[in-house]
Structure 1
Amino acid sequence: MAGTAQSPRARYREQTRAEIKEIALRQLAEGGTAAVALTRIAKEVGLSGPALYRYFDSRDALLTDLIRDAYADLAAAVSQAADSLPPGASPRARLRALAGSCRGWAIAQPHRYLLIEGTPVPGYAAPPDTLDSARAVLGPFLPVFEGAAPSAAVRPVVEQMTAWAEADAAVAQWARPRAAGGSEGVALAGAVLAWAHMHGSIGLEVSGQFNGMGHDGDTLLTAQIDSLADAFSLD
């Protein structure tokens, strides 16, 4: 069944919103979140200040759209990496591929990565649905830890994640089908620790903290991911 055709007004509104976000992303790349200014955007688009508010009623509303888009794109990159793995790929190889996809996406557009994983924007409160967006990024990591044997070093994290799933039905409902028949606590611990490893390495790299230090970001991230795989006894 064919979708309903948009009216010219609806198409114009969608195009204008897209143009506004494009300009905001350019400002973000040039100077971070502090550089995103609705007045400057309005001038560039050719709208008055009040007219711009018909498309985004505040800077926070615009940032929320940019955050949702960034999470969706990152989740798509991770899912594509998961789908591209050869049949029978080892858990360690899968973990490396997923982490590498996150790094590749971040290196290509560091301003968008820092928007969702960098320093929180002062005074900004993300709406609850962005939690689902963040979970979409981590979802493909959970099945990697099916059959894992956590070492003593990560066992406290597994215990806390297990208690979390037992206490929060929404967390359990999200994690259970993604744990691939394994322990939800183990899968959650593995995914959260992978996120911590990735954010530490990738965040420092994209913000320029590794410049001049004589190592490659991919090599460092792979070493960290392999140490995590060792901690869970992944093949």
Structure 2
Amino acid sequence: MAAGSLSPRARYREQTRAEIKEIALRQLAEGGTAAVALTRIAKEVGLSGPALYRYFDSRDALLTDLIRDAYADLGAAVAAAADALPVEGARRARLRSLAVAVRSWAVAQPHRYLLIEGTPVPGYTAPSDTLASARAVLGPFLPCFEGAGPAASVRPVVDQMTRWAAEDAAVAEWAHGFVGTGEVGTAMAGGVLAWAQLHGAVGLEVSGQFRGMGHDGGTLLMAQMDSLADAFGLE
């Protein structure tokens, strides 16, 4: 529903929810998930504790909204990078461009990146729809590997992904949404390997693990993407 069509009460509710999330994100940036405290948020917004629960009935509900927003923003960044690339073109360059998009988003707002890709929050279980959000971010990577010629070193992953797609119709449908109607095991294997290498490097960088190591995180990431491109014979 468009904001202009909402009643004054509904607009106030949406504005208050947005303010609560803005404060929670600031707390997240300052001290991680452990710093997100509903009582402190309520005080800053000017609400009583019970009144705050009318907007988010628990800390987990607030975190869920932040997670959904983060996935949506990261997915939009990756989709925009994919849309800016030629439909037909060098797949190695496409892989590099998508990796740059993820890293750029993560480096700009590490607290949001670590919320969705960092250490799981103790006691928190994300709702099932966040899996679809994560796959929406991964999907644009699949065309980079469609029809590629995987080397023996990555063939076991291709075989496993091929079996998974054959056994899980929902997974196959998702993959076909990005790579057409052919065999999707190679594309899925490339996407999963890209995701693992990408988030290994980016996760270490944004959590500060590369400080003092004498290298740039972007340079390392591109070396990893090129190594993966070599393993799949991408040009």
TM-score range for the pair, normalised by the shorter chain length: over 0.9
- Aligned mates of 2:71, 2:29 — CA distance in 1: 17
Q: Is the 8 A contact 1:85 1:94 kept in 2?
A: yes
- Aligned mates of 1:189, 1:169 — CA distance in 2: 17
> Are residue 175 (structure 1) and residue 175 (structure 2) matched?
yes
Deviation at 1:100, TM superposition (A): 0.5
Q: What are the superposed Cα offsets for residues 145-175 of structure 1, whole Å, 9 maximum, x if unpaired?
A: 1120011000000111111111111101111
> Which residue number corresponds to residue 105 of structure 1?
105
Unaligned ranges ≥5, structure 2: none
- What amino acid maps onto 1:203 in structure 2? G
Q: Is the 8 A contact 1:145 1:234 kept in 2?
A: yes
> Which residue number corresponds to residue 25 of structure 1?
25
Unaligned ranges ≥5, structure 1: none
Stretches of 4+ aligned residues off by more than 6 angstroms? none
Q: Is the 8 A contact 1:146 1:181 kept in 2?
A: no
- Aligned mates of 2:141, 2:170 — CA distance in 1: 18
Deviation at 1:86, TM superposition (A): 3.6
Alignment RMSD, CA only? Answer: 1.3
Q: Is the 8 A contact 1:95 1:141 kept in 2?
A: yes
Q: Is the 8 A contact 1:198 1:221 kept in 2?
A: yes
- Aligned mates of 2:58, 2:87 — CA distance in 1: 47
- Aligned mates of 1:165, 1:86 — CA distance in 2: 28
> Which residue number corresponds to residue 13 of structure 2?
13
Q: Using the TM superposition, name which of 78-87 and 130-139 deviates more.
A: 78-87
- Aligned mates of 2:217, 2:153 — CA distance in 1: 25
> Are residue 153 (structure 1) and residue 153 (structure 2) matched?
yes
Q: Report how many residues are paired.
A: 234
Q: Is the 8 A contact 2:146 2:184 kept in 1?
A: no
> Which residue number corresponds to residue 37 of structure 1?
37
Q: Is the 8 A contact 2:77 2:102 kept in 1?
A: yes
**What secondary structure sits across from 2:57 in the alignment?**
coil
- Aligned mates of 1:77, 1:89 — CA distance in 2: 20
- Aligned mates of 2:83, 2:42 — CA distance in 1: 41
> Which residue number corresponds to residue 229 of structure 2?
229
> Which residue number corresponds to residue 211 of structure 1?
211
Q: What are the superposed Cα offsets for residues 200-232 of structure 1, whole Å, 9 maximum, x if unpaired?
A: 100000000000111111100000000000010
**What secondary structure sits across from 1:152 in the alignment?**
coil
Q: Using the TM superposition, name which of 147-156 and 2-11 deviates more.
A: 2-11
- Aligned mates of 2:4, 2:21 — CA distance in 1: 25
> Which residue number corresponds to residue 143 of structure 1?
143
> Which residue number corresponds to residue 126 of structure 1?
126
Q: Is the 8 A contact 2:147 2:187 kept in 1?
A: no
> Which residue number corresponds to residue 184 of structure 1?
184
> Are residue 71 (structure 1) and residue 66 (structure 2) matched?
no
Q: Is the 8 A contact 2:91 2:234 kept in 1?
A: yes
Q: What are the superposed Cα offsets for residues 47-66 of structure 1, whole Å, 9 maximum, x if unpaired?
A: 00000000000000000000
- What amino acid maps onto 1:41 in structure 2? I
- Aligned mates of 1:47, 1:194 — CA distance in 2: 45
Deviation at 1:177, TM superposition (A): 2.6
Q: Report the TM-score when normalising by structure 2.
A: 0.97
Q: Is the 8 A contact 1:143 1:180 kept in 2?
A: no
